[in-house]
Amino acid sequence: MAEVTYLTGGVNWVANYVAVADKDDKNLALTGWVTIDNKSGAGYENARLQLIAGDIHRVTPPAQALDMAEGKRAVPAAAPAQFAEQPFFEYHLYTLQRPTTIKNYQTKQIEFVSAPQVPVNKIYVYDGAQLGRLGYYGSPLLDKGYGTAINKKVVVMLELKNAKDKGLGIPLPKGTMRVYKKDDQGGSQFIGEDAIDHTPKDEKMMLYLGDAFDIVGERKQTDFKRISDRVYEESFEIKVCNHKDAPVEVRVVEHLYRWSDWEIVKTSIDYVKTDSRTIEYRLPVAKDGEATVTYTVRYKW
């Protein structure tokens, strides 16, 4: 008796996730599917299906996994099937707990994770600076107008944790997560999607769904001056207008892009330093209201 192992091309898989937000955007009902696409030229009857998730190095690039395009029809599995997950080398192995048949030129979907109530936080972020390329000839420190072009959009993100006590807690393969929400008539409306990377258990995920319609930001430089040959100061005013009928908190992100040696010498409210050249304000904005934050940063060259 001999066992033969070989690599074949033309059989690819990808993970897809569908999530439905509740009325208050506090929880997601999340389902994950693996989509298997067989273009190998052969069918596999009653096969033992095992999938490895992870960033595996290949000397020659593998065939690209095929995602489901709009309008393409998938052949669903006869019934939801459970995968058993286990660590395998530095990756994760998912084994279908029953034989399955994958015909040639068939696209098949099988459910591998279901979590009916995953808590989420809806987050608004205003990152108002439109920064140009740092590779141009000149100095961002000396150029008064550098970084003053603005973006008015406030992005909407959902934050969730892949934890057992949050309804998940298994390693999630990278893929696309599409988010829906039921309207007042009971229909499901698409509200955004994002790609997620391989996500170990107990790690957080941030999903960028789109830009807020009723929240608008405005950012302007109010002062720029040279204190000495090696010291410059710059001031900004950031205003956020909330046209919603409920108060919101907006995370105002500011990049201290001109130089690595900086100090906030004046600020209207407290901030958090998120990395060596970024600060973040948590700005509460009343319903149908506006709020403003101002600060002055000193750069030492």
pLDDT digits (tens, 9 = 90+) for 158-184: 999 999 998 899 999 999 999 999 998
The percentage of the chain sitting over the pLDDT mark of 90, rounded to a whole number, equals 67
- First-to-last C-alpha distance (Å) of the chain: 74
Long-range interactions of 191-200: CB distance < 8 A, separation 24+: 191/21, 192/156, 196/17, 196/172, 198/53, 198/54, 198/55, 198/171, 198/172, 198/173, 198/174, 199/162, 199/171, 199/172, 199/174, 200/162, 200/171
What pLDDT, in 10s, does the model give residues 129-155? 977 554 444 567 778 888 888 999 999
Look up the pTM and report it. Answer: 0.84
242 has a pLDDT exceeding 60: yes
C-alpha–C-alpha distance, residues 149 and 71, integer Å: 40
Domain boundaries, the chain: 11-116, 121-162+203-300
**CATH code for the domain defined by 121-162+203-300:** 2.60.40
Residue 109, strand partner residues:
35, 76
Q: Exposure pattern of 122-151 as b/e (b: 16+ CB <10 Å)?
A: ebbbbbbbeeeeeeeeeeebeeeebbbeee
Q: Of 16, 18, 70, give the one whose Cα is nearest residue 181.
A: 18
